[in-house]
Structures are given as C-alpha cells and as structure tokens.
Amino acid sequence: MKPRGIFRGGAIVGIGVVVSQAINILSYPILSRLFTPEDFGAFSLFFFGMQVLGASLAGRYEQAIMLCRTPTRAHHALSLAQVTALLATGLLVALFGLFAAQLDALTDANLGAYWMAVPIAGFFVSVQTSLTFLAVRYGQYGLVSTARIVKSAAAFLIQIVLVYSIWGGVGALIAGETLGAALSILPVLRAERTRGQRSIFHTRRGRRHALRLAAVYVDQPLWNLPHVFISQLARWVMAMMIAALYTTADAGAYFMMFRVVMMPSTLVSGSLSQVFFRAAAEEQRATGRFTSALKSVVLPLLGLGLLATLVLMLLGPWLFAAVLGEQWRSAGEMAVIFAPYMVLQMVLATVAPSYLLGGRQRSMLGVASLQTAVFLVGFWLGHVIMHDIRWAIGASVWLSVPYMAGMLLWYWRMARTRMVPNERTLNNE
C-alpha cells in the first residue's frame, strides 16, 4: 500500500473516529453536570481496567491476524484470539468478585460488585478489536468506522437513559460503557460472516491445528502481551495512586483531563494505526523495509501534535471551565501540564506496530516496562517532593518525554533495517 493509500484508508476509519469523538465531546458538558468528579473518579478505575483487559484478554493473538500470510490462517488466528479471551474472562470475573472488598479498600472507590463488570467489558472490547483487525486486513474500513460510532453513541445514550430513570451514579456510567462496547461488536461481525468460514474449534482436527497455530505465534502472549499489559496498566495504576494519595475527586479530574487531552491521539491513532500496520507490512514484504510508511505518518503527526499542544497550553483551563463547568477548571490546569506527553504518545501509538515488523517483541517488553516505570516513578517523586498533584503530573510528563523521543528513534532504526518475515508453515491452511 502506497503512503497515499494509508491516508485514504485512514480517512475512512477516521470518519468513524471523528464522529465518535464528536459524540464524546458533546457528551462531556452533559455528563459532567449529571455526574460528580467523585463519580468519574470511581468510573476511571473501571474504565482504565476495561482498557487494560481489552488489550490483554486475547493474549495478543489478534495481532497475528495482520501478520498471517493467508486469509485462512488469519481467520484461524481470529478464532484463537476470541476463545483465549473468553476463557480468561471467565476466570477474571470470578477473581474480581472474590476480591471486590479488597479492591474497594485499596482504592476507596466503593465499586463493590461493579468490579466484575471490568473483565466483562474488557471481553467485549477484546472481541471488537480482533474483529477490527480482520476487517482492516480485508480492507473493510467502513465496518470499523461504524463500530466506533456505535460504541460512543450507545454508551452515551444508555448513560443518559439510566441516570434519568432508575440507575444513577457510577453504575449508570459503567453500564453504559459496557453495553456500548458490546453493541460495537455488531458492525465488525460482518467481516467474519462475509468470509463464510467456520471456527477452527468446531472439529477435533481444527482444535489440534489451533494448538499448533498458538505455538507459531507464541511470541504474542510471551512478549507482546506483557508489554501491552504493562503499558495499559500504567493508566490504571495512576488512577489508583491519585485516589489513594489525593482524593477521588482529583482522580475524576485527572480522568476527565486524560480523556479530553488524549482525544487527538485517539482520533489519529484510531484512524491510522491499523492502516499503517497493513501498509508497513506490505512494504516490508516487498522491500524488506518500511521506511516510507513510517516517514509518511510520523512527520505530519508531529506537526499536528505541536498545534494541539499550543492550544491546550494557551487555553486549557478556560476551555475546560467554559465547556464542562467551573468545577472542572482543575482538569484544565492538569491539561496544560500533560500536553507535551500527548504529542509523542499520539505518534508512538500510531506507529506502534513497528516493533512487531522489526521482530523486537522481546526488546519491546523491556522498553515498555521502563517507560511505565518512568511515568509512575516520576509521579511518585513529584508527590514526595512537593505534595501537589500538578507537580506530580509535571514530573511524570517531563521524565517521560525524552524517553518517548528515544523510542521513536528506535522505531526509525527498525524501519531502516532490512528484514524479510519468516513465517513457519502449518498444515491445514
């Protein structure tokens, strides 16, 4: 796929991301007046936990859908990812229910039985993600775009209905997000049905083949899964640290800030990341490198990120207070501090598949673990030294920025290194 094709496919996916983010933007002024910062603080623990598990439950086997050489194997990888997610979800629902009281004591969030909704929502996110990879592989970008719109619209509408009827507080936020994730599966489900292939697990021979397939892509759960889990876990741990060290209201302000500030990153990476993955993989199969795909994405994104950072630094507190209400001004002050982090995170999230193409899953585990440690340790040091949440966030950001810039240079080096993917063959293709 040529660079122009990346942005054409990204534009189609981007329509859904833009509309979904527009729904989110329009929903925040309403939700911020119906729910308190304390509600959002408790919801942040659910939301970030859902994201952690949504990216982890399938063992990262969904990444193999894009790496497979044949459509048949890609479909088998989809089945492997979904069954892995289902088994992990059942175990985690039991564990979250068993330790709900301990989690409440640790976070002071009083979620109770709502903790069990975290893996359930994570399962829906995982299924939608794996089906999205299949849709992107087949070039069905419209399905991906529709799924993103459905998730945001359904979550918002359900939350509004619940808060005005029988179920207010954090329960309405959690129920809306969970059901929205479930409904977002429906559009991308068509990507599987249009191929008319049965699941690999329907026959004994197929199940044996699934075990061999799992062995072929064993690097995904062994190295890619821990790296992604640790990266996502940082956001969850940060919410818990803020709730424990400061207040639930501060955790709610941080959550609102994070969702608003990371909108450009979500918009861009959600539109381009999987399209970039496909284009870079095609370029690598043809030339052994993927420099053109990487360069065509990184440079425009750095310019866009710097523009967004400038707006946040100049108008952040005023925008948050004007749009969301005066009680959210503190979130705007956090946004001013957090803006530089957003720029590099937007670029890194978009070109994250680079380490897969470079065969650096093992190295990436160490790199991502250190990035998470820098982010969390920076926050802790800022807290210990100044006992102020803004100083803590600032220390976290400015310790992370140089490290993230180094990661981007590492990706560039991978792109320039000639490598021909070597995929082992399987019977029963």
Alpha helical stretches, state H, 194-328: 204-216, 219, 225-245, 248-261, 263-287, 291-324
pLDDT over threshold 50, residue 427: no
Compute the C-alpha angle 37/343/224, nearest 5°: 90
Q: What are 58's two structure tokens?
A: 């399938």
Q: What are 354's two structure tokens?
A: 């680079």
- The better pLDDT of the pair 196, 87 is held by 87
Identify residue 246 by its one-letter amino acid code. Y
Distance of CA 276 to the CA centre of its chain: 16
Please write the tens of the pLDDT for every residue from 304-328.
888 888 988 899 899 899 888 888 8
pLDDT over threshold 80, residue 286: yes
Contacts of 274 (CB under 8 A, 6+ apart): 13, 66, 132, 133, 136, 144
Tell me, what's the pLDDT at 197? 58
pTM of this prediction exceeds 0.85:
no
pLDDT band with cut points at 50, 70 and 90 for residue 156: very high
* Contact present, 246 and 389 (Cβ < 8 Å): yes
pLDDT band with cut points at 50, 70 and 90 for residue 425: very low
Contacts of 195 (CB under 8 A, 6+ apart): 71, 75, 138
Q: Which of 177-191, 209-223, 360-374, 394-408 has the lowest mean pLDDT?
A: 209-223
pLDDT more than 70, % of the chain: 91
pLDDT more than 90, % of the chain: 35
pLDDT over threshold 60, residue 164: yes
| Unique residue bearing structure tokens 């920025």 | 401
356-364: average pLDDT: 84
Tell me, what's the pLDDT at 426? 41
**In the chain, what's the furthest Cα-to-Cα distance?**
63
pLDDT over threshold 50, residue 364: yes
pLDDT over threshold 70, residue 428: no
Contacts of 73 (CB under 8 A, 6+ apart): 213, 426, 429
Contacts of range 163-171, beta carbons closer than 8 Å, 24 or more positions apart: 163/34, 163/35, 169/35, 169/39, 170/35, 170/39, 170/42, 170/43, 170/46, 170/111, 170/114, 171/114
What's 425's DSSP letter? P
pLDDT band with cut points at 50, 70 and 90 for residue 216: confident
76-80: average pLDDT: 88
Highest mean pLDDT of the ranges 87-101, 102-116, 195-209, 218-232:
87-101
270-284: average pLDDT: 82
- CA distance linking residue 38 with residue 110, whole number of Å: 11
* Contact present, 175 and 150 (Cβ < 8 Å): no
89-94: average pLDDT: 96
Q: Quote helix, strand, coil % in the chain, to nearest 5.
A: 85, 0, 15
Q: What are 315's two structure tokens?
A: 């108008």
Contacts of 66 (CB under 8 A, 6+ apart): 74, 133, 136, 137, 274, 277, 278, 281, 353
Distance of CA 41 to the CA centre of its chain: 19
- The better pLDDT of the pair 37, 424 is held by 37
* Contact present, 152 and 23 (Cβ < 8 Å): yes
Tell me, what's the pLDDT at 282? 84
Give the chain's mean pLDDT. 85
| Unique residue bearing structure tokens 């994104």 | 301
pLDDT over threshold 70, residue 5: no
- CA distance linking residue 39 with residue 118, whole number of Å: 16
